[in-house]
Amino acid sequence: MSLLFSPLHLPSPRGGITLPNRVVVAPMCQYSASNGCATDWHLMHWGNLLNSGAAMFTIEATAVLPEGRITPNCLGMWDDVTEAALADHLHRARALAPPTAVCIQLAHAGRKASSAVPWEGGQLLAPGQGGWQPVGPSALPQLPSEAPPTEISAFELVRIRDAFVSAAQRVQRIGVDAVELHGAHGYLLHQFLSPLANQRADAYGGSFENRIRFPLEVFKAVRTAYDGVLGMRLSASDWVEGGWDLPQSEVFCQLLKAAGCDFIHVSSGGVSPQQKITLGAGYQVPFARAIRATSGMPTTAVGLITDAHQAEAILQAGDADLIALARAFLYEPRWGWHAAAALGGTVQANPAYWRCLPREAQAAFGKVSIGMR
């Protein structure tokens, strides 16, 4: 039996969720919200990927405060209005798709906030251009050409921590199955972890113990208030000498597990323009392998994984427990179907689609339409 199409249970204080396969749609920013509210673009996007054959779909980085958005067009979850908009669009998308677990990535962009959307250059926006003053662990800009962020005060740290808690409570109320805290790609929690972005002189900067303090406080506060499946996405390396690296990630993940973390999603990079990444198929898998071995947590591998047999080999080697894909799903929204056909697995889909399979795929799935339950 294919491991990619075998079930996996993700535990939580509430009992957890059992995924029918190991395929996850990774979070992908859509830059299509209106004042933080989900729009009809999200309805279309979510409905499409909830019919992908993946066991779990992850909603994009969702800001816990308005100033925590990457761009003015980013999704948010900070008040009753943003909660209602997300709930409405998500409930309608789920009603037209087979049962699929939904995770949401809760985030704060820190010094990478107040930026233009990527197709308009992605540059830092001044307040007069629709932007705002970003904040960060230290007054160090992401790029040397940018104005520095405001160093976050002790009071603001509490406010941001509490905003993560409030957002987690809101998404639990509307029926989201899992929460992933965004500790990767150079956003706020990653900024605190990395000595390249965090040069504070107080209890939240300097030593490893101090740099992990705020991300760990946020995780523990959310864990106390939220009893669903809770994990974190982590950049395992800054790919810069003297930055955050794999040994620090391994220790941090052990502390997350002790604090009640249910899964870890392993990525890398994003905090420095000096990063030197050697790209290649599955280039981040060694990070997932190491963290899985040292933490014992259910671990998600991601990054240039595009082929079903490649994904299966990663699982068979014991390098990860889940496989996440992002842009591959945008290019091929039925990636899960193709993977099931290649590996002899089964997926769920809306019956309206059952007649679409070519004969060779029907043979691979057996006699029942597309092997769907």
Triad 205, 106, 339: Cα angle to 5°: 120
Distance CA 98, CA 371 (A): 14
Q: Where are the beta strands (DSSP E) in the chain?
A: 8-10, 17-19, 23-25, 56-63, 101-107, 135-136, 150-151, 178-183, 229-235, 263-267, 299-302, 322-325
**Closest-CA residue to 171 (of 267, 75, 293, 241):** 75
Q: Is 226 a catalytic residue?
A: no
CA-based nearest residue to 231, from 159, 164, 298? 298
* ∠ Cα 12 45 171 (to 5°): 30
- Cβ neighbours of residue 295 closer than 8 Å, sequence gap 6 or more: 250, 253, 254, 256, 257, 264
In the set 187, 204, 226, 283, the catalytic residue is 187
Question: Who's near 183: CB < 8 A, 6+ residues apart?
Answer: 189, 190, 193, 215, 232, 233, 234, 235
Give 126's DSSP letter.
P
**Alpha carbons 112 and 134: distance in angstroms, whole number:** 7
Nearest to 187 by CA among 286, 285, 64: 64
From the CB of residue 156, how many other CB atoms can be counted at a distance below 10 Å?
Answer: 14
Annotated catalytic residues are 187
